[in-house]
Amino acid sequence: MAIDRFLTFRLDARDGEVRLTLARMTAVLVGLGIPPDDRASVEIVLAEILNNIVEHGYAPGDPGPIWIALIVEPAAVQVTISDFGRPLPAALLNPTEPPDPQSLPEGGFGWFLIHSLTTDLRAGRTRTLNRLSFRLPRGATKSDVPQSPPRQQ
Amino acid sequence: MEMTGRLEAGFCVIRVDATRIDAAGALAFKDRLRDLAGDAAGDVVLDLGAVQFVDSSGLGAIVAAMKALAPVRRLHLVGLTSTVEKVFRLTRMDTVIPIHADLAAALSRRAG
């Protein structure tokens, strides 16, 4: 039976710490032998979510804490991200159309990338703590992987 | 941001020596690219061979640079590493920005 691997990271919501945390996380995933394409998915999605918390979750000049938990399973990486910032607007949890490349968009890529690479994206809030969880299917694009059944939270 | 530029075969070749173009560096990237591209005539080839990661802000900055050069000059990309290539492919921005396998392939095309 494959053994799940559990990783946690904590950072303050600042650009520089996002960069350092992603680098540390990637180094750990390299050490665990996670293939490059799976690592790319983790880094792309985590970068967008962490940047979003830095820019919109916490007030400028008041960067609070962010906690990340990763469970590396054979078929997916399960991720939970927690913070004390403003809650995520619920509409962002719905899949979005990609920006039209022909219009040469300079933004709107972030949530599209998140939805492209994740399944089971859920957000919750208990008093002041936000909790965002999702799965990153490994070794395949999301559309190749059946949705997993609802999991107990 | 650490970037260097040179003229080669009628192109302005700009190499990014930083390993990331991300939210923290997107503005500096745009400013530096504008300075290096200057008012020269040829197309711009952006060498991303050292760049391991581009996030949505970095992607937006590259698109902004492309628009700033248009319509007279085109922006070409070379040396995409695997994660960077994945970001361009998922967003389908690889369909509107010319991407070449390497510098030689980009330079073999005629400027203009």
Transcribe B39-92 into DSSP letters. T-SS-EEEE-TT--EE-HHHHHHHHHHHHHHTTTS-EEEE---HHHHHHHHHTT
pLDDT of amino acid A152: 46
Torsion angle defined by CA atoms of residues A38, A42, A47 and A53, in that order, rounded to the nearest 10 degrees = 160
Long-range residue pairs from B29-35, CB within 8 A, at least 24 positions apart, any chain: B29/B1, B29/B3, B29/B58, B29/B61, B29/B62, B29/B65, B30/B61, B30/B64, B30/B65, B32/B1, B32/B3, B33/B3, B33/B65, B34/B65, B34/B68
Mean pLDDT of A2-21: 91
pLDDT of A90 > 70? The answer is yes
The verdict on A16 touching B (C-beta cutoff 8 Å) is yes
Residues A32-61 as b or e (16 or more Cβ within 10 Å = b): eebeeebbbbbbbbbbbbbbbbbeebbeee
Nearest to A105 among B23, B63, B82 (CB): B63
Chain B positions in Cβ-Cβ contact with residue A43 (cut-off 8 Å): 53, 83
> Shortest Cα distance from B83 to chain A (angstroms)?
5
Question: pLDDT tens, B5-35?
Answer: 999 999 999 999 999 999 999 999 999 999 9
Per DSSP, B25 falls in state: T
State the pTM of this model: 0.91
Q: Say if residue A87 is exposed, middle or buried (CB neighbours under 10 Å; 0-12, 13-18, 19+).
A: middle
pLDDT of A40 > 70? The answer is yes
pLDDT of amino acid B80: 97
The verdict on B95 touching A (C-beta cutoff 8 Å) is yes
Q: How confident is the model at residue A141 (pLDDT cuts 50, 70, 90)?
A: low
pLDDT of A153 > 90? The answer is no
Question: pLDDT tens, A96-121?
Answer: 888 999 999 999 999 999 999 999 99
| Beta bridge partners of residue B21, listed in sequence order | B54
Question: pLDDT tens, B60-97?
Answer: 999 999 999 999 999 999 999 999 999 999 999 999 99
Helix (H, G, I), strand (E, B) or coil at B100: strand
Q: Do A113 and B87 touch (CB under 8 A)?
A: yes
The verdict on A92 touching B (C-beta cutoff 8 Å) is no
Beta strands in A13-128 (DSSP E): 65-72, 76-83, 119-126
pLDDT of A147 > 50? The answer is no
Cα(B6)–Cα(B19) distance, rounded to whole angstroms?
Answer: 20
The packing angle between helices A110-117 and A36-52, to 10°, is 140
Q: How confident is the model at residue B110 (pLDDT cuts 50, 70, 90)?
A: low
Average pLDDT, chain A: 90
The verdict on A110 touching B (C-beta cutoff 8 Å) is yes
The verdict on B93 touching A (C-beta cutoff 8 Å) is yes
Q: Do A19 and B20 touch (CB under 8 A)?
A: yes
Nearest to A36 among B53, B63, B82 (CB): B82
The verdict on B27 touching A (C-beta cutoff 8 Å) is no
Evaluate whether ipTM surpasses 0.90.
yes
pLDDT of amino acid A96: 87
Nearest to B86 among A19, A44, A112 (CB): A44
pLDDT of A80 > 60? The answer is yes
* Residue length of chain B: 112
Portion of chain A with pLDDT greater than 70, in percent: 89
Chain A positions in Cβ-Cβ contact with residue B90 (cut-off 8 Å): 44, 112-113, 116-117
Look up tokens 């962490």; give the residue: A50
Q: How confident is the model at residue B109 (pLDDT cuts 50, 70, 90)?
A: confident
